[in-house]
Amino acid sequence: MKVIALKGDVRDGLGKSATKKVRKEGKVPCVIYGKNENVNFSVYQADFKHLVYTPNTYLVQVSVGGNVKLAKVQELQFHPVSEDIIHADFYEVDDKSPLSISVPVKIVGNSPGVMAGGKLQLKIKKLSVAGLIADLPEFIEVNIDELEIGKSVKVKDIQVENLQLLDSENNSIVSCVVTRAARSAADGESEEEDATPEEGEATEEKAEE
């Protein structure tokens, strides 16, 4: 899994007025929950762009006051109107302890259901997993080569080496559903078949004439 670097400034004041001042400077109040101590710091709002507003998942190398810690994003709080990040929590991790994190799903293969007129529905964009940092992939492949119309690939159908999948095993990751156009076409064919007279009926009509 890739790592993004964030440089923060140590926060001395933690009250409401100090927090308000930090936000006026275009920064986000942050805290990293460490192994030995918690560190309060701030990061410029713009620096979150490539970390948060992306479908990918990254670990974060946080540099504050000369100290460097590897962490994951634990929680983000957004302003209800502007949607700016107003607070960020990070959790320190290491390469010896398993951690839980969400990993993006990557669809691979060609679905027979789609080729027959169905439509893919991606229901889970990221899967929650637990494992060591060295085993964390950038994405988890979900193969749809055998996905027919009306069927789904579920969590229990996926196996990832050295990782534990934390989502419910019966949750659908991706499904192939019938489209309205395909359903209408199928209904139209059925009506045409019902309207076509059988051979015996046609013979009787001609005989009566």
CA angle 147, 148, 152 (to 5 degrees): 55
* Sheet order of strands, 118-122 included: 118-122, 172-178, 152-154
Give residue 7's pLDDT band: very low, low, confident or very high (50, 70, 90): very high
User: What one-letter code names the amino acid at 128?
Assistant: S
pLDDT tens, 19-53? Answer: 999 999 999 999 999 877 899 999 999 999 999 99
Nearest to 173 by CA among 158, 188, 186: 158
How confident is the model over 144-164, as a mean pLDDT?
Answer: 95
Per-domain residue ranges for the chain?
A: 3-93, 100-186
Task: Give the CATH H-level superfamily of domain 3-93.
Answer: Ribosomal Protein L25; Chain P (2.40.240.10)
Q: Which residues pair with 158 in a beta bridge?
A: none
- Per the CB < 8 A criterion, the answer to whether 62 and 4 are in contact is no
CA distances from 47 to 7, 21, 26, 53, 170 (A): 9, 18, 10, 11, 38
pTM for this predicted structure: 0.79
- The hierarchical CATH code for the domain 100-186 is 2.170.120.20
- Per the CB < 8 A criterion, the answer to whether 47 and 40 are in contact is no
